[in-house]
Structure 1
């Protein structure tokens, strides 16, 4: 259960959400929608400083994380976040979790 964020996606978040060092993006699963591995649930995020993250990846002093309440959504998967220039936004791909 890890999150990787490409440099292009990091730049998009910083520019569009005005992220500064110390800020965070809390990712979580929400009802309705779908991902490439979830039906009936989609990925959502909110700009929020982490309090007690279960997992976090820090890039340029910005935390990309999920909490213990969100484990159910991420169990067994790694989340890869990239940027799509045609769409001008981030893309989210869940892949089978890599053993550590």
Structure 2
């Protein structure tokens, strides 16, 4: 699986989550909500250190990752993170690998 992030989304994470160079951001499955890939689950985001990363990408010295234990949530999809100007926050798109 791959993770891609737009420059605008990167800026949102830096400003809203106070992420700086050398930080790690984890995408994970959380119970509740909904998503395009798993009913009854949604995507969570947190500052966290990787333990067993299954996918990782670096952008401007910031690392974004998914742990091995959360790969099931993505169901064979890559994660594309963009910025939604209307919602003023990240927009997550799942594309089959």
- TM-score tier, shorter chain, comes to over 0.9
Residue of structure 2 equivalent to 1:45: 45
Alignment of 1:26-65 (within 5 A): 26-65=26-65
- Structure 2 spans left out of the alignment, 5+ residues: none
Contact residue 12 and residue 89 of structure 2 kept, 8 A: yes
Residue 77 of structure 2 is aligned to residue 77 of structure 1: yes
Query: So what's the TM-score if we normalise by structure 2?
Result: 0.93
Q: State the secondary structure of the residue aligned to 2:95.
A: strand
Q: What CA RMSD, in Å, does the superposition of the two structures yield over aligned residues?
A: 1.1
- Structure 1 spans left out of the alignment, 5+ residues: none
How many residue pairs match? The answer is 97
TM-superposed deviation, 1:17:
0.9
TM-superposed deviation, 1:75:
3.6
Structure with the largest fraction of strand: 2
Q: State the secondary structure of the residue aligned to 2:53.
A: coil
Query: So what's the TM-score if we normalise by structure 1?
Result: 0.90
